[in-house]
Structure 1
Amino acid sequence: MKYVIIGGDAAGMSAAMQIIKYDQDAEVVTLEKGAIYSYGQCGLPYTISGLVPSTDDLIARRIETFRNKFGIDARTYHEVQTIDPKTKTVVGQDTQSGKRFHLSYDKLLIASGASPIIPDWKGIGLSGVHTLKTIPDANQIIRNLSEEIQNVTVIGGGDIGLEMAESFRTLGKSVRLIHRGTYVGKMFDPDMAQYIHEEAKKHQIELIVNENVIAIEGLRSVESIRTDQKVYKTDLVLISTGIKPNTSFIQGTGITTGMKGAIQTNRYMETNVKDIYAAGDCTLQYHMVKEQDDYVPLGTTANKQGRIAGLNMARQPRRFKGITGSSILKFMDLTLGKTGLSEWEAMKLNIPYEVVKIEAKDIANYYPGSRPIHIKLTYRSDNYQLLGGQIIGEKGVDKRVDVLATALFNRMTILELEDLDLSYAPPYNGSWDPIQRAARQAMRGLSEKVKHD
């Protein structure tokens, strides 16, 4: 059986490892358009700040390991251009030699990932203008960050934008973040995002919201950013305006796509075209709370989908259960966590909902070092089923987001959160965990509402 995998990172290589494990006679060919296999993209901002010493530290397995130890025909600089499902052929070009290649397959996995969205602004090609998605991107930024670079502008207030604003500030740079929306951290509701804005101000990161970038200006190198309201001087620009799935080469195959051109699969990671599978950032993900496909590209999901795709390709049936939309990031002294639906997402989906929001302490109030933690839960108003949670604080955010993600996976109600047997000792928690306190407050509110009704 000949397996061809397009993409040599998280999803692609997770699949490859399952195939060689369960199919002893497998011939596995992986096609990577870059030079580096299997690395942690989420660690890139921390190599730029110097917290992680080198981008080499992010490489999980080197290409020689896949070739020599596991017998995978792992190719680099092989860019796929077309797929012919009728002849079961992949066609592309070796971008180093310029030679075209034709590869036949019995089963094909598309794990081509995603690329940064690059707006068509004037001056986008000036020196000192960067995006961040790959190790070469990070190395280029590191090379560009000389002592003369003092004023840095980040465009975009999503996860990467916030993480890179922190990285540049950690290096002592003057940082400005421009975002076209009304607030940064769009995964949160506005009342939760205010804590992000306050943290930026605390660390002298200038936030510019409600402004649209229209041009990048300079002669050879970037000198300023022009928005629809003002011109800002800058020495370096990091563009973080989102990503798009790498799926242009599937045109004409008949493969079904959804939002942003991401590939639609079933729970076995099969596309609608026979013997073609897809996984990772180029695909949609089934959202368990929304009960529909969504596009939430994350490294955890890519590894999971890739593993499941590989198992199914090797005739080891396994279903992808879906996601709850869990994410977490560090921004200066804060941890920002979310899972499930925010209030505005519930509203957009026309789900009957209520919210509860509290401020508590991450550990026992009397224990030294306790810090505030802000929690907002969203739940259905008709049956009290938990819909999601947003948590922001200095400590203790991660474990509580994971508790809520587990609760969402098991379709628990707000009342059932109170019944959870969570660990307690003063250095780690209060006798009632903050998420349970939020649940109790929600139930009190519902009781009062019933009385009035």
Structure 2
Amino acid sequence: MKYVIIGGDAAGMSAAMQIIKHDREAKVVTLEKGGIYSYGQCGLPYTINGLIPSTDDLIARSVDTFRNKLGIDARAYHEVQSIDPKTKTVAGQDLQSGKMFSISYDKLLIASGASPVIPDWKGIGLNGVHTLKTIPDAERIIQNLSEDIQHVTVVGGGYIGLEMAESFRTVGKNVRLIHRGTYVGKMFDADMAQYIHKEAEKQGIELILNEHVTAIEGDRSVELIRTDQNLYSTDLVLISAGIKPNTSFIQGTGITTGIRGAIQTNRYMETNVRDIYAAGDCTLHYHMVKEQDDYIPLGTTANKQGRIAGLNMAGQQRMFKGITGSSILKFMDLSLGKTGLSEWEAKQLNIPYDVVKIEAKDIADYYPGSRPLHIKLTYRSDNFRLLGGQVIGEKGVDKRVDVLGTALFNEMTIFDLEDLDLSYAPPFNGSWDPIQRAARQAMRGLTDRN
């Protein structure tokens, strides 16, 4: 059996490892547009500020390891430009030699990932204007980040925008973050995002909200960034305007796509075209709470979907159960965690909902070093099933988000949260965990209304 995989990172190589494990006769060819395989993209912001000393530290396995130790025909700088499902071939260009190639397959996996959105602003090609998605991107930023660079502007207040604002600030740069919305961290509700805003102010990061960037100006290098309201001086610009699935090459295949052009699959990672599978940031993800496909590209999901695709391609049936949208990021002294639906999302989906919000301590409040936790739970107002949780604080955020994510996976109610048997000792928790306190407050609210 000949397997061809488009993409050499998380989803693609997770699939390849399962295929060679379960099909000893497999011939596996992987086609990667870049030159680096299997690396931790989520660690890139921490190479910029030197917390991770080298981008090499992010590489899990080299191309040579896949070729020489694992027997995978791992090809670098091979850009796939088209797929022909009738002849079962993929075609493209070897970017090093310039030669075209065509490869046949018995089963094909599309794991081509996603790329940064590049706005069509004037001056987008000036020196000092960057995006961050790959190791070469990070290395260009590091090379550009000399002592002469004093003022850095980050455009976009999502995951990468916030992480990069932190990274630039921790190396002593003056940081401005421009965001077109009313608040940064749109994965959170506005009342929770206020804590992010306060942290930015505390750390000396300037937030510019409700302004749209229209142009970048300078001679050869960036000097100014223009919005629809103001003009700002800057030495470097990092654009974090979101990502888009790399799916342009599937045109004409008949493969069904959805949000942002991401590929739709069934729960076994099969597309609607026979013997073609898809996984990772180029695909849609079934959201267990929304009970519909969504597009939330995260590294954990890419690895999981890739593994499941590889198992199914090799004849080991395994179903992808879906996501709850669990995520966490670090922003200066805060951890920002979310899973499931925010209040805003529940409202958009016309789900009958209610919310509860509390401030608690991450550990026993009498134990030295306790820190405040801000928790907001969203739950259905008809059957009290948990819909989501947002947690922001200095410590203990990851534990609570993971508990809430597990609760969502198991369709628990706010009443069930109180019954959970969670670990307790004063250095680690209070006798009632903060999420249980939130659940109890919601239950008291129900009693008061009744």
Could you state the TM-score of these two structures normalised by the residue count of structure 1? 0.99
1:345 equivalent in structure 2: 345
Percent identical pairs in the alignment equals: 85
Q: 2: distance between equivalents of 1:88 and 1:408?
A: 40
Residue 353 of structure 1 and its aligned partner are, at CA, apart by 0.2
Structure 1's consecutive aligned runs of 4 or more residues displaced over 6 angstroms after TM superposition are: none
1:276 equivalent in structure 2: 276
Residue 422 of structure 1 and its aligned partner are, at CA, apart by 0.2
The answer to whether structure 1 residue 230 and structure 2 residue 230 are counterparts is yes
Q: 2: distance between equivalents of 1:365 and 1:2?
A: 60
Q: 2: distance between equivalents of 1:442 and 1:5?
A: 48
Q: 1: distance between equivalents of 2:140 and 2:147?
A: 15
Q: 2: distance between equivalents of 1:298 and 1:436?
A: 28
Q: 1: distance between equivalents of 2:50 and 2:123?
A: 29
Q: Per-residue CA shift, 1:92-136, capped at 9, x if unaligned?
A: 000110000000000000000000000000000000000000000
AA at the equivalent of 1:116 = P
Q: 2: distance between equivalents of 1:56 and 1:346?
A: 42
Q: 2: distance between equivalents of 1:62 and 1:227?
A: 42
AA at the equivalent of 2:245 = P
CA RMSD, 1 decimal? 0.2
2:434 equivalent in structure 1: 434
1:327 equivalent in structure 2: 327
Q: 1: distance between equivalents of 2:424 and 2:102?
A: 60
Q: 2: distance between equivalents of 1:449 and 1:189?
A: 25
- Count, aligned residues: 450
1:22 equivalent in structure 2: 22
- The equivalences for 1:177-216 within 5 A come to 177-216=177-216
1:249 equivalent in structure 2: 249
Unmatched runs of 5 consecutive residues or more in structure 2:
none
Q: 2: distance between equivalents of 1:257 and 1:301?
A: 18
SS of equivalent to 1:373: strand
Q: 2: distance between equivalents of 1:359 and 1:32?
A: 47
SS of equivalent to 1:421: coil
Q: 1: distance between equivalents of 2:224 and 2:54?
A: 30
Could you state the TM-score of these two structures normalised by the residue count of structure 2? 1.00
Q: Per-residue CA shift, 1:239-285, capped at 9, x if unaligned?
A: 00000000000000000000100000000000000000000000000
Q: 2: distance between equivalents of 1:101 and 1:197?
A: 51
Q: Per-residue CA shift, 1:329-371, capped at 9, x if unaligned?
A: 0000000000000000000000000000000000001000000
Q: 2: distance between equivalents of 1:118 and 1:102?
A: 30
Q: 2: distance between equivalents of 1:326 and 1:218?
A: 41
AA at the equivalent of 1:411 = E
Q: Per-residue CA shift, 1:155-201, capped at 9, x if unaligned?
A: 00000000000000000000000000000000000000000000000
SS of equivalent to 1:281: helix
AA at the equivalent of 2:92 = G
1:304 equivalent in structure 2: 304
2:71 equivalent in structure 1: 71
Q: 2: distance between equivalents of 1:191 and 1:257?
A: 34
1:394 equivalent in structure 2: 394
AA at the equivalent of 1:419 = D
SS of equivalent to 2:19: helix
Q: Per-residue CA shift, 1:408-452, capped at 9, x if unaligned?
A: 0000000000000000000000000000000000000001111xx
- The equivalences for 1:400-419 within 5 A come to 400-419=400-419
Q: 2: distance between equivalents of 1:314 and 1:65?
A: 22
